[in-house]
Amino acid sequence: MKLGVPKLDELLGDIEPGSTLLMLTVGDLGVDIFFNFLKGNEERAIIFATSQIKHFLLEKRRITKARFITLGEEVSPQNLFETTDLIRNLAKESYIGVFFFQPLFLFHPVEVVQKFFAQLTKIALERRFILLAILDKRFLKEREIAGFEASATHVLEISETISGFTIVWGIRVKKSPSGVSGFYRIEFRDGKVIVGEALG
């Protein structure tokens, strides 16, 4: 599998069925990488999302052929077992996006959400689907982030720094079977993601 962003695909190598890609980001920076991929593969996509993200993907991104499972409707934020049971019974060789981790921290300690994520990664491996997950790292401590990273096969990290009067966004492969990388400049133009030269 390839994400469709040339430099990232070069750095990540082939992504095998059973893999989990975790994106550590700031707010919604870089989420287009996963959203664009799911748009290109929407007939095989199953998306677990909040109602706001579902609305955005349907209305703004026109992802209409994917199956959506909405937090607070089909699954409850309080009952994580219900979600793991549902994911365990999904079709093999799908692309599954889980985009509702932040609200779970309102209902559960970080350690419980980490265990939930670890269980999802095990199910992905057993069922041979590719799991895509996004975490906003601003609300987590380094050691808490490390707990999520340990369960993922691939980790992408997005950074935001200020250089003079300019905001510079960077992306790196923090964990991957193909190795890790330094930060590369990342830009977002008209829904497209462009990864440029190395930073630093």
| pLDDT one-digit tens code per residue, 131-157 | 999 999 998 999 999 999 999 999 999
Note the pLDDT of residue 97: 94
- Region 174-200: mean pLDDT is 90
- 3-class secondary-structure state, position 16: coil
Note the pLDDT of residue 1: 87
Task: Tell me whether strands 95-99 and 192-198 are parallel, antiparallel or unpaired.
Answer: unpaired
Whether the pLDDT of residue 191 is over 90: the answer is: no
Residues 42-70: tens digit of each pLDDT? 999 999 999 999 999 999 899 999 999 99
Note the pLDDT of residue 112: 96
Q: Which fold has domain 19-159?
A: Rossmann fold (3.40.50)
State the Cα–Cα distance between residues 62 and 135, nearest whole angstrom: 23
* Amino acid letter, residue 176: S
pTM attached to this predicted model: 0.92
> Are 144 and 113 spatial neighbours (Cβ–Cβ below 8 Å)?
no
Note the pLDDT of residue 121: 96
Whether the pLDDT of residue 173 is over 90: the answer is: yes
Note the pLDDT of residue 189: 84
Per-residue confidence band for 90, with pLDDT thresholds at 50, 70 and 90? confident
For the chain, the residue count is: 200
Angle between helical axes of 110-127 and 142-151 (0-180°, round to 10) = 20
State the Cα–Cα distance between residues 13 and 144, nearest whole angstrom: 27
Per-residue confidence band for 92, with pLDDT thresholds at 50, 70 and 90? confident
Per-residue confidence band for 22, with pLDDT thresholds at 50, 70 and 90? very high
Note the pLDDT of residue 67: 93
Whether the pLDDT of residue 10 is over 80: the answer is: yes
- Work out the mean pLDDT of the chain and round it to a whole number: 92
Nearest one of 182, 36, 22, 155 to 99, comparing CA atoms: 22
Per-residue confidence band for 188, with pLDDT thresholds at 50, 70 and 90? confident
- Region 104-130: mean pLDDT is 95
